Amino acid sequence: MQRADENMAGNRINPAFWAGKRVFLTGHTGFKGSWLSVWLDMLGAQTTGYALAPERSEDMFAHLQLERALAPNLEHRIGDIGDFDGLQAALQAAQPDIIIHMAAQPLVRRSYREPLATFATNIMGTAHLLEAARQLPGVQAILLVTTDKCYENREHTLPYKEDDHLGGYDPYSASKAGSEIVGAAYRRSFLAEQGVRVATARAGNVIGGGDWSEDRLIPDAVRAWRNGDTLMIRSPEATRPWQHVIEPLRGYLMLVEALCRAEPNVAEAWNFGPELAAVQPVRHVIDGMAGRWGAMTADMSGQTRAGGWRAENEPSALHEAQRLQLDCAKAAERLGWTPKLGLDQALDLTTEWYWRAAAGEAGAALLDLTRAQISSNS
């Protein structure tokens, strides 16, 4: 059996492993799912995507026309993970080697407005996927993508390890903790004895071009600045582990490779977060992006128009975690995964992508940029 340290030399994925692999990817029309769809296409995997339609025409999947651009390596299916029969039929048709589950209701503030829908999607959607998957022959590995917010947040300065308590103040965080528990139950009760290896992946605050979700810092900033408005920020001192989307996706792919090699003690939970220097308050991140945005939008006279922001006083603001950090020593020691991009590099890549989108570049050009960013930084 090939050891992790032999195959993971250079902190990279193995392109030869992915060529021709049948991958079933839920949530492929979302932000991270779109980036992963592009990457899997570059690797030559045969991907079946199963997700809701993009919410907005500017969403990355729609704007880059990935349904067409990634064909025939991507088979695009519109479906709801709440629909067990539809999901089961799609899995039966795909007969995947690997399942990567990203479909979710991913927004904290929306979860306050729609708690039942959030629990249904994030907990029962995961159960639907695993129940359908255990009836399939040939599945080697299942990766369930959750979040760093699945931990019981104590608001302390210590980073969270994979064996820390799960919890969640808000419905989103609690639902993701529930998803972790469902995954562990299916692994122990059914899938391990069938030879299917199941792991979960917990990443920090992910940034990168193409995310247009509501109530997220970078998309909100771009929407404000391209319209000449001032960005309103709820919690400028809140601290988060910021990382470019390429970083956790590389970790997910490396983890799947280890699962398929049937290495011991891999079918469990894993953290994928940035170095300590990238654990910064919102104020630091938005100031960094504002300066970059201003430099990119310099007018003919050489003057810059930096993006502005100010703190928003919300007396009845919903509860959101103020401090969060991950301990990723296990991924470094046992998978060979460590962050490659610092926060400054992540902001450079992110700002360039959004600025070019705001300047009106076509989807084909943005797809080329996405591929180039993956190639140069993975």
CA distance 52 to 61: 11
- Three-state SS sequence of the chain: CCCHHHHCCCCCCCHHHHCCCEEEEECCCCHHHHHHHHHHHHHCCEEEEEECCCCCCCCHHHHCCHHHHCCCCEEEEECCCCCHHHHHHHHHHHCCCEEEECCCCCCHHHHHHCHHHHHHHHHHHHHHHHHHHCCCCCCCEEEEECCHHHECCCCCCCCECCCCCECCCCHHHHHHHHHHHHHHHHHHHHHHHHCCEEEEEEECEEECCCCCCCCCHHHHHHHHHHCCCCEEECCCCCEEEEEECHHHHHHHHHHHHHHHCCCCCCCCEEEECCCHHHEEEHHHHHHHHHHHHHHHCCCCCCCCCCCCEEECCCCCCCCCCCECCECCHHHHHHHCCCCCCCHHHHHHHHHHHHHHHHCCCCHHHHHHHHHHHHHHHC
**When comparing pLDDT for 78 and 293, which is higher?**
78
Mean pLDDT, the chain, integer: 91
Among the residue ranges 88-102, 128-142, 217-231, 343-357, the one predicted with the least confidence is 217-231
Per-residue pLDDT of 116-166, as tens digits, reads 999 999 999 999 999 999 999 999 999 999 999 999 988 777 899 999 999
Per-residue pLDDT of 340-369, as tens digits, reads 999 999 999 999 999 999 889 999 999 999
Give the pLDDT band of residue 314 (cuts 50, 70, 90).
low
What pTM value is reported for the model? 0.93
Lookup: tokens for 229: 């408005």
Per-residue pLDDT of 174-204, as tens digits, reads 999 999 999 999 999 999 999 999 999 999 8
> What pLDDT score does 325 carry?
86
Domains in the chain, please, with CATH?
Answer: 4-373 (3.40.50.720)
Q: Report which residue type is found at 55.
A: E
End-to-end CA separation in angstroms for the chain: 25
> What pLDDT score does 319 carry?
55
